[in-house]
């Protein structure tokens, strides 16, 4: 189906839904690389006019990746909830924007199963940053495992203690550092330098020992491949969360070595362990704009729409955590701080609107045109927008993955400046350990403080 619009005296024609979505996108280097971008700003605005007039029902009959050839498309179409869709079924994409800005939290939660990723990606292209923030903040997505994430006024954090050689003592030192700053309620999660089963089990056992030693109401995770996780569970190791990177097409997921069937197998195995105490949301997914394009599996679809399709995969498995690694894939896909900030807000909005507990790795690679000031802006905007969690590493410098993220100190800034608190169960633990202030902040402990000595008493945490 062709889509047409006129801007001034210029008439624009778009061959199909993929083309109008791509031309309407905010500029980013990945779409330039793929040859999908609007050639001029005027064409970009014209495409948004055309997109605004498209009825939402069109997205149920015209798919951007063929139904017969792609299991993600089949998942999107076959799981669509007509009843939930009914309140907005008469709207265009532009009408949906107006409806979202006026809707309350209950209405947004009710409509989520009726929205497809393509609808959500489309409406995000019409929205200013403040629109994305305003709607995201109203979306309530609460999940739980050993603590409760996504409650209003709360900001969870992933403590990321990566080490270039997976040295247990180096990892443990980073874990201690993060805990002293009140970081780690969303997950204490390691990206292993060596992704094999024995190494993953050793790291899991170390994290679980620390968690049990201090009775920490948090979940741990070694971000190993999902097929490794299945075997690890079969061997009886202490696995809390099942992790996997996912993308928005069957071919892109195949490049990760996965499909929906193996995700289902891991999900059912994780549920059977019943390791959660206050909930059983056991899946952790990471995504990132540009992953499908980098695998040559984007089907001519712009990278933001492909990213949003990945959220359909995540939504099918009721996860505890989902985060976009927004600037990690590199400047070939998000060139500079402006593009990274916009993409982070888009990803958060789209994920939350689809009903996901959306977080973000606020990050950039060292060859991107971005710096920590850009990250200061994005982390502040995401916290205002109600992000479920953010990732933090020692000193904001991940020495294993060689990229820049947020620091534990950044989390203190967000808590103190914006008044957001940790997960309630984790906050109680911080208070019990003598680390919490009455306002929900973190108490600085001197080296000689007996509470510091208590935290250092575990031999694994002594340098």
Instruction: Quickly count: other Cβ atoms within 10 Å of residue 7's Cβ.
Output: 15
Lowest mean pLDDT among 60-64, 292-296, 368-372, 441-445: 441-445
Q: What is the pLDDT of residue 441?
A: 78
> Above 60 in pLDDT, residue 92?
yes
Question: In sequence order, what are the residues at sequence separation of 6 or more whose Cβ sits closer than 8 angstroms to the Cβ of residue 90?
Answer: none
Q: What is the pLDDT of residue 173?
A: 94
> Above 90 in pLDDT, residue 250?
yes
Q: What is the pLDDT of residue 449?
A: 62
Give residue-wise pLDDT tens across range 128-183.
Answer: 999 999 999 999 999 999 999 999 999 999 999 999 999 999 999 999 999 999 99
* Angle CA 398–404–408, to nearest 5: 70
Q: What is the pLDDT of residue 460?
A: 46
* Confidence class for position 462, pLDDT limits 50, 70, 90: very low
Q: What is the pLDDT of residue 451?
A: 58
Q: What is the pLDDT of residue 442?
A: 82
pTM for the model: 0.95
Give residue-wise pLDDT tens across range 355-399.
Answer: 999 999 999 999 999 999 999 999 999 999 999 999 999 999 999
Mean pLDDT of the chain: 95
CA pair distance 92, 251, nearest whole angstrom: 30
> Above 70 in pLDDT, residue 188?
yes
Distances from the Cα of 295 to the Cα of 213, 250, 333, 429, angstroms = 43, 11, 13, 43
Q: What is the pLDDT of residue 461?
A: 47
CA pair distance 328, 324, nearest whole angstrom: 9
Going by their DSSP bridges, the two strands 10-14 and 3-7 should be labelled as antiparallel
If you count them, how many residues does the chain have?
Answer: 463
Q: Tokens standing for 235?
A: 């061997």
CA pair distance 365, 197, nearest whole angstrom: 28
Q: What is the pLDDT of residue 7?
A: 85
Give residue-wise pLDDT tens across range 322-345.
Answer: 999 999 999 999 999 999 999 999
Higher pLDDT, 23 or 441: 23
Q: What is the pLDDT of residue 438?
A: 78
Percent with pLDDT over 90 in the chain: 91
* Confidence class for position 452, pLDDT limits 50, 70, 90: low
Q: What phi and psi, each to the nearest 5 degrees, are found at residue 51?
A: -65, -40
Give residue-wise pLDDT tens across range 418-447.
Answer: 999 999 999 999 999 989 887 777 876 655
Q: SS3 for 19?
A: helix
Q: Tokens standing for 266?
A: 């891991």
* Confidence class for position 459, pLDDT limits 50, 70, 90: very low
Q: SS3 for 44?
A: helix
* Confidence class for position 240, pLDDT limits 50, 70, 90: very high
Q: What is the pLDDT of residue 22?
A: 98
Give residue-wise pLDDT tens across range 395-418.
Answer: 999 999 999 999 999 999 999 999
> Above 90 in pLDDT, residue 27?
yes
């Amino acid at each position: 189906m062709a889509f047409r619009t006129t801007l001034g005296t210029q008439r624009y024609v778009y061959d199909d839904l993929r083309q109008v979505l791509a031309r309407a996108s905010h500029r980013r280097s990945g779409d330039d690389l793929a040859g999908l971008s609007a050639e001029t700003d005027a064409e970009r605005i014209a495409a948004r006019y055309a997109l605004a007039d498209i009825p939402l029902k069109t997205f149920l009959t015209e798919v951007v990746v063929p139904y017969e050839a792609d299991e993600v498309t089949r998942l999107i179409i076959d799981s669509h909830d007509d009843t939930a869709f009914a309140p907005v079924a008469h709207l265009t994409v532009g009408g949906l924007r107006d409806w979202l800005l006026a809707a309350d939290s209950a209405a947004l939660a009710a409509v989520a199963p009726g929205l497809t990723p393509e609808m959500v990606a489309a409406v995000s292209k019409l929205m200013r940053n403040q629109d994305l923030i305003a709607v995201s903040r109203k979306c309530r997505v609460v999940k739980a495992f050993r603590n409760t994430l996504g409650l209003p006024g709360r900001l969870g954090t992933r403590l990321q203690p990566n080490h270039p050689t997976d040295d247990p003592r180096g990892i443990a030192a980073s874990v201690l550092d993060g805990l002293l700053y009140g970081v780690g309620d969303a997950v204490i999660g390691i990206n292993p330098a060596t992704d094999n089963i024995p190494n993953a089990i050793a790291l899991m056992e170390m994290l679980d020992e620390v968690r049990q030693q201090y009775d920490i109401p948090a979940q741990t995770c070694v971000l190993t491949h999902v097929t490794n996780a299945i075997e690890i569970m079969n061997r009886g190791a202490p696995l809390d969360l099942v992790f996997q990177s996912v993308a928005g097409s069957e071919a892109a997921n195949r490049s990760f070595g996965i499909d929906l069937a193996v995700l289902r197998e891991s999900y059912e195995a994780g549920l059977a362990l019943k390791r959660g105490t206050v909930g059983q949301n056991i899946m952790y997914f990471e995504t990132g704009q540009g992953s499908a394009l980098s695998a040559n599996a984007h089907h001519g679809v712009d990278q933001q729409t492909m990213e949003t399709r990945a959220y359909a995969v995540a939504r099918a498995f009721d996860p505890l955590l989902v985060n976009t690694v927004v600037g990690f894939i590199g400047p070939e896909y998000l060139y500079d701080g402006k593009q990274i900030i916009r993409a982070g807000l888009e990803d958060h909005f789209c994920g939350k609107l689809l009903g996901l507990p959306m977080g973000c790795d606020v990050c950039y690679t060292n060859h991107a045109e971005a710096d920590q000031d850009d990250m200061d802006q994005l982390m502040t905007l995401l916290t205002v927008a109600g992000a479920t969690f953010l990732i933090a590493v020692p000193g904001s410098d991940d020495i294993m993955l060689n990229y820049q993220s947020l620091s534990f100190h950044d989390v203190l800034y967000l808590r103190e400046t914006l008044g957001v608190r940790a997960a309630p169960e984790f906050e109680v633990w911080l208070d019990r350990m003598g680390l919490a202030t009455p306002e929900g902040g973190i108490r600085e402990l001197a080296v000689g403080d007996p509470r510091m000595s208590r935290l250092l008493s575990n031999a694994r945490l002594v340098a």
